[in-house]
Homo-oligomer: A and B are copies of this chain.
Amino acid sequence: MWSYAAPLAHMRFVIEEVLDAPAQWRALPAHADLDADTAAQVLEEAAKFAAEVVAPINGSGDLEGCRRQPDGKVTTPAGYREAYRAFVDGGWPALACDPALGGQGLPQLLNAALYEMLAAANHAWSMYPGLLHGAYACLKAHGSEALQAAYLPRVASGEWLATMALTEPQAGSDLGQVRTRGVPQPDGSMKVSGGKIFISGGEHDLTDNIVHLVLLRLEGAPAGSKGLSLALVPKVLPDGSRNAVRCDGIEKKMGIKGSATCVLAFEGAVGWLVGEPGRGLAAMFVMMNSARLSVGLQGLGHLEMAQQNAVAYAHERRQMRAAPAGTAKGEGDDSGADPIALHPAVRRTLWRLRALCEGARVIAYWAAQEIDIAERHPDATARQRAHALAGLLTPVVKAFLTDCGFHGAAAAQQVWGGYGYVHEYGIEQSVRDSRISMIYEGTNEIQAIDLVQRKLRGDGGAAWALLRAELQDEAARCAALPALADFARALREQAAAADDAVAALAAGRPDDPDWPLGVADDLLHGLGHTLLAWAWARSARAALSRAGDAWFDERLAAARFGIDRVLPDAAPRWQRVLARGLALPAAPAAA
């Protein structure tokens, strides 16, 4: 009843026609030989893997969950180990890794499409390989030669999985409070002691070794975030002995039950410094930015999964007759039953989900494309521009798309009626699983603060100027096409509202320094809608060039639905950001 078919036609439409990525690959020496057909073949294989290997163990993995033995060993649900083995054998972990390290050297854009599929098919399972990429990037950027030699190829290939061991009970959003300690040893290693919580994949049975990247404080380091360093602590030491890291428990969670969320105890475990002492947060941020894009892709995956299944179910399920011309009927109609897809309340929901999903994909893939340019363009100016854009897009992709994923899944759940609340129909699991993406890798509120403080105010508006120029250019391209005049108008309105909001933030409120933080969340959602307007405009323009083909006409219809019926939701966001006279009251009293 619940199935996943990767939306390959949509993915190709975005990659090839909306974003024109193949032309861009030709400008990047690393991808100069890649063409659209080759990329499409990769996605087809990924789609098979997602649908045939990973999706079938999604529901069963949720029911079974992970199990921890008294000795600290953790068992993943049935089929997880075999699926992971097939993933490694297929070379998927190294898709976007350096060929010198055994990788395939493909663009992050294709890796993004792969992870959209994996998260849609089985979010919990995708958590295990999902953390590899950040660890790979972090070790590649900051690891010593010796650490790279010992760990990087095996992390790239997926032979060993990795964790990001940041959180402690008192240190969640506030990593400056981390207490885990590292005591340097004469041989250049360190002894690591402390407790970490919420460590995804902290222990499992998928790989023989697990590479923990642990945020800690070296002996004698100052308090706060400037005293933090990063260490690599393997589960199994190079001599084959077990390191002193133990799983003390796994959390009972709302969802992603197949992903082991571990309490880890380090008791004098052997580790090695990654990067400079006191620069642990900086080294970790390499992982976090990569991870935040991946989390945004989870939101997109859930949105896709929810909408494709809701549309399919709505065409099968029959309840009541849809209103015939000249009448309008409500519940309890006598005259037979039509597919609920014909009922206006359901049609409205389905179109809304379609529009959001198609727009969100363009935004997420664009961020991945800019990361490719930032990493691989031969021209430094082009790299810097792309880096700034990707940095600005990252918190919006993470927070806005995960918000759309969860709320989209919850909206889709209505389509199933009572069946939507029952496990076997799948959607209730999607609602539960998608909820975590709004929390981890920096809560969505932290993303909004990052957007406002670092990405909009921190650089004097440089990144925003780049984004604004792209919005205005796209509006001008649409304005040149009479059929898309409404897209041009909508996009210009959004861009103008965003521009006003960014200017208001830059000015701040001298009497109320908290003001930007109090409107950060609304600003992020306003900007998310602005990016949707841009995405729909670009999609509409690409679809218009194929007008007359029913599939492309439906893309145009979805984009127009977005402009007409979804975009009004931006208005209260901008209104709250721009109502600068409003002060946020002090905290309400506890009862």
Contacts and interface: CB of A to CB of B under 8 A. Distances in A.
A253 B350 contact: no
B591 A347 contact: no
Interface stretch (A49-57, A443-451, A492-500): A443-451
A198 B417 CA distance: 11
Contacts of A582: 564-565
B253 A347 contact: no
A354 B588 contact: yes
A332 B513 contact: no
A570 to B, nearest CB: 8
B332 A428 contact: no
Given A281-B332, A432-B432, A590 B344 contact: no
A417 B173 contact: yes
Contacts of A253: 421-423, 428
Interface string A451-475: 0011000000000000000000000
B342 A587 contact: yes
A81 interface: no
A255 B198 CA distance: 23
A507 interface: no
Contacts of A580: none
Interface residues on A, range: 35 or more
Contact of A417 (B172, B329, B419, B432): B172
How many subunits of this chain does the assembly comprise?
2
A438 interface: yes
A320 to B, nearest CB: 4
A334 B198 contact: no
A157 B255 CA distance: 40
Interface string A305-323: 0001001101100111011
Given A252-B422, A423-B252, A584 B348 contact: yes
B438 A323 contact: no
Contacts of A407: 407
Contacts of A315: 587, 590
Interface stretch (A108-116, A368-376, A514-522): A514-522
Contacts of A575: 568, 571
Contacts of A586: 347
Nearest to A444: B414
A223 interface: yes
Interface stretch (A174-182, A205-213, A384-392): A174-182
Nearest to A423: B252
Contacts of A515: 344
A588 B311 contact: yes
Given A311-B590, A421-B435, 20 more contacts: A174-B320, A224-B334, A253-B422, A281-B332, A323-B517, A328-B516, A330-B446, A330-B453, A343-B517, A345-B517, A346-B445, A410-B435, A414-B439, A417-B439, A418-B439, A421-B439, A557-B588, A565-B576, A568-B571, A569-B572
26 contacts: A172-B417, A172-B419, A173-B320, A177-B337, A223-B334, A224-B334, A251-B421, A253-B422, A311-B591, A328-B508, A329-B453, A330-B453, A345-B448, A345-B517, A347-B586, A348-B518, A348-B584, A407-B407, A414-B438, A414-B439, A414-B443, A420-B439, A558-B588, A561-B585, A564-B582, A571-B575
